[in-house]
């Protein structure tokens, strides 16, 4: 049942880790989790065979089989990758959020992008079920984009009204 080399872990366990890291590090926590996704995703991506489309299709299928949600390829060009995930367990376990939370998936997709695109590019989660979106949306972005600004384009349903200014997430207590 469990594929060789894997362990089972509840998404609530990961959400607990994630919230503890966020409490300690603030917005930098997301990049730490994405690094974990890149480490695991790099191993998975290195084992893929075939052309870019075949490798992407295979890894997205693996993600679904492992319970990471239902992956769908939205766009694949030599320089760009976009993927949606319906039913992300990370978003479900996290609950309400003020910024996208599926950093592990984002990191895996960054590792995938690094193997199938002409050059590595960061991946941004521009919509997340933890923010009320019907599905999580991941897309490669310009590598020159500063990491701290990656979440700014995300629209928050509760703020839909053109509220200007403010920070993308409430400041963390020290
Ligand atoms: Zn998400």
In angstroms, rounded to a whole number, what is the distance separating the alpha carbons of residues 15 and 95?
9
- Secondary structure of residue 105 in the 3-state scheme: helix
CA 82–ligand 1 middle distance (angstroms): 14
Angle, vertex CA 159, rays to CA 32 and CA 152, nearest 5 = 35
pLDDT digits (tens, 9 = 90+) for 21-46: 999 999 899 999 999 999 999 999 99
CA 103–ligand 1 middle distance (angstroms): 8
Kindly indicate the confidence band of residue 5, based on its pLDDT and cuts at 50, 70 and 90.
confident
Q: What is the pTM assigned to this prediction?
A: 0.82
In angstroms, rounded to a whole number, what is the distance separating the alpha carbons of residues 144 and 108?
20
CA 157–ligand 1 middle distance (angstroms): 15
Instruction: Give the model's pLDDT for residue 143.
Output: 72
CA 95–ligand 1 middle distance (angstroms): 11
In angstroms, rounded to a whole number, what is the distance separating the alpha carbons of residues 19 and 6?
23
CA 109–ligand 1 middle distance (angstroms): 13
Instruction: Give the model's pLDDT for residue 121.
Output: 95
Q: Which two tokens stand for residue 137?
A: 């949306």
Q: Which two tokens stand for residue 36?
A: 């974990």
């Amino acid at each position: 049942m469990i594929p060789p080399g894997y362990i089972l872990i509840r998404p609530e366990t990961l959400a607990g880790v994630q919230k503890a890291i966020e409490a300690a590090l603030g917005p930098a926590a997301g990049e730490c989790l994405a690094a974990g996704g890149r480490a695991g995703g790099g191993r998975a991506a290195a084992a893929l065979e075939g052309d870019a489309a075949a490798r992407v299709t295979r890894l997205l299928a693996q993600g679904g089989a492992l319970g990471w949600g239902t992956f769908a390829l939205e766009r694949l060009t030599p320089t760009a990758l976009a993927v949606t995930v319906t039913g992300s367990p990370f978003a479900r376990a996290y609950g309400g959020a003020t910024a996208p939370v599926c950093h592990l998936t984002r990191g895996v997709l960054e590792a995938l992008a690094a193997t199938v695109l002409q050059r590595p590019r960061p991946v941004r989660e521009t919509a997340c079920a933890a923010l009320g979106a019907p599905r999580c949306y991941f897309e490669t972005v310009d590598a020159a984009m500063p990491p701290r600004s990656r979440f700014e384009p995300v629209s928050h349903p509760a703020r839909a009204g053109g509220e200007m200014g403010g920070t993308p997430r409430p400041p963390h207590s020290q």
